[in-house]
Structure 1
Amino acid sequence: MAFPPQFLEELRTRLALSDVVGKRLRLIRAGREYKAPCPFHNEKSPSFYVNDQKGFFHCFGCGAHGDIIGFVMRHDNLAFPEAVEALAGEAGLPVPRATEEDKQRYERRKTLHDLVEQAARWFEQQLYAPAGRAGLEYFQRRGLDTDGMARFRLGFAPGDSGALRSQLLKQGFSEEDMVTAGLLKRPEDGRTPYSFFRNRVIFPVTDRRGRVVAFGGRILEGDGPKYVNTADTPLFHKGTLLYGLSRARQAAADGKPVIVAEGYMDVIALVRAGFEGAVAPLGTALTETQVQELWKLIPDAEKVPFLCFDGDNAGRRAAWRAVERILPHLAPGHSARVAFLPEGEDPDSLIRLHGPRAMQEVLGEAIPLSEAVWRMETEGKPTDTPESKAAVKAALDSRVGQIADRDVQIFYRTEMRRRGSAARAPSPPHRTAACPGVLSLIHTCRARREDQ
């Protein structure tokens, strides 16, 4: 029985190997992996390891090795079709049947994956070539050493618009595939396609399984937008992926916070500071699909992702847009918190100047979504007349009415009424905190610098 290759790929992506194995064995956390006594041979000390990020199991005792389908086949004594159908049931996926067109489409995607991977390697090499000197110096100025650049597979696209094309043609890839993968752009007048990324530092974007599928590029000098990203391709849809997603999956499984930042360098700075659950949208505002991805990352219903924004007016506007996107999809256990950085700082600058502790305090001061909704509709709006108060109430009612889940909506309405009552009550005497935190010290230092 044949199954469409893309269905099998989706099955492996949809189910975490540790979840499937954990239903059959008692797994013990071992760093980024899990371990257990091997079910395929008798042993007392665990030598059987499960790695979710790589998607395979391996026994160092008997050599058993394979992916999620191979494990179920071997453990449950099932044939391949039976194992696939069992896993499809666990994943809630209907089982399709492969057609010749499905097979051809899969082979096409495999070719594109190979092509994009080779392009990523070439960009990495160019960073250390004479043409990449400006890119190398840029990353060094941003505090990255060779190991850091290698960890994130950073690269450089030289100004030569034909260099990448020539290199990939030598490796046997077609020009048409390079255009399809977003590496080349074809002029409207029919001339030879040219490199889409030129004179830019390169940030590879990976899918959920850690495979490079697209790129982001930051210009260093000359005309053009500051950042450009690969357009949608058969491998990549910018509204569904997040930069850093594959790494964040493992971090979230390890109990680390999921943090949504605004840019590539912010994610890199956060990960290097120990916040490995950091992700970022890809040149667009946070989409509903990306929000759903965030919730899938976090196994603990009591934990929520942090939406981290700059503390200026633009950052607040971006935060409110993100809240608007999330609000209709709120459900029990599915929410978020909004964190604002000190004005003039982003995660990269904050961590470089003040260390991870300052970032931890930013997360500690994050506000719940209910507080964010209240601020959206009340900050800067008059409430000194019955009419203005009624206008604020109507705006809050309208905003809360967007929540589809009835129970969550009811609790939000109760919370907005409580805040409205508290806002009308006399304010308690202001009390100064006994011990200022890291962020308070940052503000104090900045004020002293401005006074000097």
Structure 2
Amino acid sequence: MAIDSAFLDELRARTPIASVVGRRVKLARSGRNWKGCCPFHGEKTPSFYVYDDHFHCFGCGVHGDVISFVMQMEGKNFPEAVEELASSAGMEVPKDTRRTQEEVAHVRSLEDVLAATQEIWSRALYKPEGRAGLDYLLGRGLTRETLETFGLGWASEKRGDLVSALALKGITPDMMAEAGLMRVDEQGHPKGELFWGRVTFPIRDRKGRLVSFGGRILGDGQPKYLNGPETPVFSKRRLLFGLDRARAAVRAPRPKGVVAPDLVVVEGYMDVIALHQAGFTGAVAPLGTALTPEQLEALWQVDRAPILCFDGDAAGRRAAVKAAETGLPLLKQDYSLRICLLPDGEDPDSLVRTRGRQAVAEMFAAAQPLSEVLFDLLSTGANNPGPEERAALRRRLTEVAGLIPDKTLASEYRSTLLDRFFTTFRRGGGKWNGPQSRKANAPASVPGAVPVNMDQTRERQRLMLELLLLHPVLVPEVEEALCRLDLPEEFAEVRALLLDLSAEGELPDNAAALYAWLQAQGAEETIRAVVRESYSAMSESDAEDPAHTVASRTQWWHFYGLLYGPQFIQEVNREIARFVEKGGDSAEWQRLQARLEAMERLKRGGVDDTEL
């Protein structure tokens, strides 16, 4: 029995052929593709190429997809190869996907229904009855050649016309309903045509097979756009409008030096068609839904870093965040996303018409990696936030990075996001006033205050980080203040390491355990700029003595007060007032005492970095 073609398409989409071949053949990058020595004949010079969905050897001529590769390499038959790949992909070959000849014929009959409908609608667009639709499309700047290329058509305004036309071809309303062309009642019986009085858009799968239609109404009717329902041949979660053409354009052979078009995801049919007409042949669009995991997998089969294009308004930013949250759990080190935010009030179609092709090309070229734009998307509206808002944002950034299953990649995202967080909320923009100099930050009540040069500032920052390495239990207590420090790059790496561990709940509570973790991760080099003596020896000293921890807490806030002067005093006074008003436990009072002692030293004029 045959296996359902839709299941096989999904299996191929979820099984990157390069990964399967790469487990048996040493592959190297060759542009967008991979190459290696052919496993099917002896050769020393690589002539075996792996593309997005197939392999080909220019030496012996062997050719096939991921299923045939497993069959030929392991001597399996077709069902066995499918079972093996499905198991690796976490899929199951359900019994009901093994179709009988009658079921296969049924699917083909649905394809025949759709093909007959397409013929009727595409012709109707150029008849008097379709004049309104044709005028609309031409008025949007589309050429007749483009209309024919995409097969646009017109569904008659007279209900029943399609039923009558298809009846002449022996197609019944029941067959139309199964193909997604009729509305049905609660019992599943046809009760009226789905598309009428609309411009029609044929929807094809990635191989170019017609599987459904979309339609746009003219005037003020609702819904403006309408897609066909799920059918045996159509799943809107898995397909993207225009992917068949975009895939062919991106993968097409081209002269050396000619760059392949970007794969760009836009909002709707008209955006895709307008972009293709303007030469952006990698444009695709979801089918009336937010981007799905299945669609992202299909995109990555074509391009390792597709561009997701969104409106620049609030709704567009929300859509971008939702797409990011969908994509992050699927990210791998070889697959990413780029984000392009359009000017407010514009879409790709309007931009092509009003600003021209070059402006759109520059906009796509400026698309940013998801890792760079994600902070801006998540922090929208965070102008001059208070401690609670900052803490919530930092937690959100950490949670979002944690969606990535690859721990190494997740750590890189977390570091990038937190670096942006530190930079944004420590200085400038009316948000934070970081330390400029001792003179700028010295409290007026400190007699004989002298400027602190950059060497002094750097040394105090180093000592603060060293204290946290020796007493990691202090990190959660001081993390809000720690985020404000304007650190040089080598110090910022140590801060990011500590905050990463704290955010993940993996921060050891003593120096010895932290040192062991650093050794296990090969991260000892990261702290070299901070720790002057042997960290191993320091971690085995009396750093775990509770009294030493208490003293170090006070010392840390003393250094912080020297850097931030009046701001620090104001913060401590606010904390005292809050504690008096709302109360707190003994541990909170102990932490507040450390800041009180540091503040009193500042008021007395204590500027010695070592005296307590």
| TM-score normalised by the chain length of structure 1 | 0.74
Match of 1:244 in 2: 242
Q: SS where residue 335 of structure 1 aligns?
A: coil
Match of 1:433 in 2: none
From 201, 205, 208, the counterpart of 2:203:
205
Residue type of the alignment partner of 2:205: D
Question: Could you tell me the percent identity over the aligned residues?
Answer: 39
Taking a change above 3 Å as real, the CA distance of residues 166 and 52 of structure 1, as seen in their structure-2 partners, is: farther
Q: SS where residue 201 of structure 1 aligns?
A: strand
Does the 8 Å CA contact 1:85/1:95 hold for their aligned counterparts? no
Match of 1:269 in 2: 274
Q: Deviations over 1:238-259 (max 9, x none)?
A: 1111001111211222432110
Partners of 1:415 and 1:9 in 2: CA distance:
38
How far the C-alpha of 1:340 sits from its partner, in A, is 1.2
More helix by share: 2
Match of 1:345 in 2: 346
Does the 8 Å CA contact 1:5/1:102 hold for their aligned counterparts? no
Q: SS where residue 100 of structure 2 aligns?
A: helix
Taking a change above 3 Å as real, the CA distance of residues 178 and 364 of structure 1, as seen in their structure-2 partners, is: same
Match of 1:287 in 2: 292
2:106 paired with 1:108: yes
From 298, 302, 315, the counterpart of 1:297:
302
How far the C-alpha of 1:111 sits from its partner, in A, is 0.6
RMSD (CA atoms): 4.1
Q: SS where residue 154 of structure 2 aligns?
A: strand
Taking a change above 3 Å as real, the CA distance of residues 188 and 160 of structure 1, as seen in their structure-2 partners, is: farther
Match of 1:406 in 2: 407
Match of 1:157 in 2: 155
Taking a change above 3 Å as real, the CA distance of residues 212 and 191 of structure 1, as seen in their structure-2 partners, is: closer
Q: SS where residue 239 of structure 2 aligns?
A: coil
Partners of 2:386 and 2:306 in 1: CA distance:
38
User: Greater shift after overlay, 218-227 or 147-156?
Assistant: 218-227
Residue type of the alignment partner of 1:178: M
Match of 2:251 in 1: 253
Match of 1:32 in 2: none
Taking a change above 3 Å as real, the CA distance of residues 294 and 387 of structure 1, as seen in their structure-2 partners, is: same
Taking a change above 3 Å as real, the CA distance of residues 191 and 257 of structure 1, as seen in their structure-2 partners, is: closer
Match of 2:40 in 1: none
User: Greater shift after overlay, 151-160 or 404-413?
Assistant: 404-413
Residue type of the alignment partner of 2:112: D
Match of 1:309 in 2: 310
User: Greater shift after overlay, 385-394 or 287-296?
Assistant: 385-394
Partners of 1:397 and 1:269 in 2: CA distance:
39
How far the C-alpha of 1:198 sits from its partner, in A, is 0.8
Partners of 1:289 and 1:191 in 2: CA distance:
31
Taking a change above 3 Å as real, the CA distance of residues 423 and 224 of structure 1, as seen in their structure-2 partners, is: closer
Q: SS where residue 193 of structure 1 aligns?
A: strand
Does the 8 Å CA contact 1:11/1:87 hold for their aligned counterparts? no
Taking a change above 3 Å as real, the CA distance of residues 295 and 7 of structure 1, as seen in their structure-2 partners, is: closer
Written as runs of structure 1 = structure 2, the 5 A alignment for 1:4-43 is: 4=3, 6=5, 10=9
Partners of 1:386 and 1:394 in 2: CA distance:
12
Match of 2:32 in 1: none
Match of 2:417 in 1: 416
Partners of 2:211 and 2:146 in 1: CA distance:
21
Written as runs of structure 1 = structure 2, the 5 A alignment for 1:53-202 is: 101-187=99-185, 193-202=191-200
Partners of 2:64 and 2:82 in 1: CA distance:
9
Taking a change above 3 Å as real, the CA distance of residues 294 and 86 of structure 1, as seen in their structure-2 partners, is: same
2:392 paired with 1:391: yes
How far the C-alpha of 1:186 sits from its partner, in A, is 3.1
Q: SS where residue 297 of structure 1 aligns?
A: coil
How far the C-alpha of 1:363 sits from its partner, in A, is 1.3
2:335 paired with 1:334: yes
Q: SS where residue 234 of structure 1 aligns?
A: coil
Partners of 1:269 and 1:163 in 2: CA distance:
30
Partners of 1:233 and 1:132 in 2: CA distance:
27
Length, aligned pairs only: 388
Does the 8 Å CA contact 2:4/2:99 hold for their aligned counterparts? no
Q: SS where residue 146 of structure 2 aligns?
A: helix
Residue type of the alignment partner of 1:388: E
Partners of 1:16 and 1:329 in 2: CA distance:
13
Q: Deviations over 1:359-399 (max 9, x none)?
A: 11111221221233212332212445433322221121222
How far the C-alpha of 1:133 sits from its partner, in A, is 0.7
How far the C-alpha of 1:89 sits from its partner, in A, is 7.4
Match of 2:355 in 1: 354
Taking a change above 3 Å as real, the CA distance of residues 10 and 399 of structure 1, as seen in their structure-2 partners, is: closer
Does the 8 Å CA contact 1:229/1:283 hold for their aligned counterparts? yes
Partners of 1:391 and 1:100 in 2: CA distance:
50
Match of 1:61 in 2: none
Match of 1:322 in 2: 323
Partners of 1:16 and 1:168 in 2: CA distance:
41
Taking a change above 3 Å as real, the CA distance of residues 103 and 8 of structure 1, as seen in their structure-2 partners, is: farther
Taking a change above 3 Å as real, the CA distance of residues 194 and 309 of structure 1, as seen in their structure-2 partners, is: same
Q: SS where residue 185 of structure 1 aligns?
A: strand
How far the C-alpha of 1:237 sits from its partner, in A, is 0.9
Does the 8 Å CA contact 1:401/1:409 hold for their aligned counterparts? yes
Taking a change above 3 Å as real, the CA distance of residues 318 and 211 of structure 1, as seen in their structure-2 partners, is: same
Q: Deviations over 1:187-210 (max 9, x none)?
A: 569996321001000011001110
Partners of 1:236 and 1:9 in 2: CA distance:
14
Q: SS where residue 216 of structure 1 aligns?
A: strand
Residue type of the alignment partner of 1:314: A
Does the 8 Å CA contact 2:313/2:344 hold for their aligned counterparts? yes
Match of 1:48 in 2: none
How far the C-alpha of 1:7 sits from its partner, in A, is 7.8
Partners of 2:421 and 2:141 in 1: CA distance:
47
How far the C-alpha of 1:134 sits from its partner, in A, is 0.3
How far the C-alpha of 1:11 sits from its partner, in A, is 9.6
Partners of 1:336 and 1:385 in 2: CA distance:
32
How far the C-alpha of 1:3 sits from its partner, in A, is 3.9
Q: SS where residue 301 of structure 2 aligns?
A: helix
User: Which of the pair has more CA radius of gyration?
Assistant: 2
Taking a change above 3 Å as real, the CA distance of residues 332 and 224 of structure 1, as seen in their structure-2 partners, is: same
Q: Deviations over 1:336-363 (max 9, x none)?
A: 0110112221111111122221111111
Partners of 1:101 and 1:363 in 2: CA distance:
44
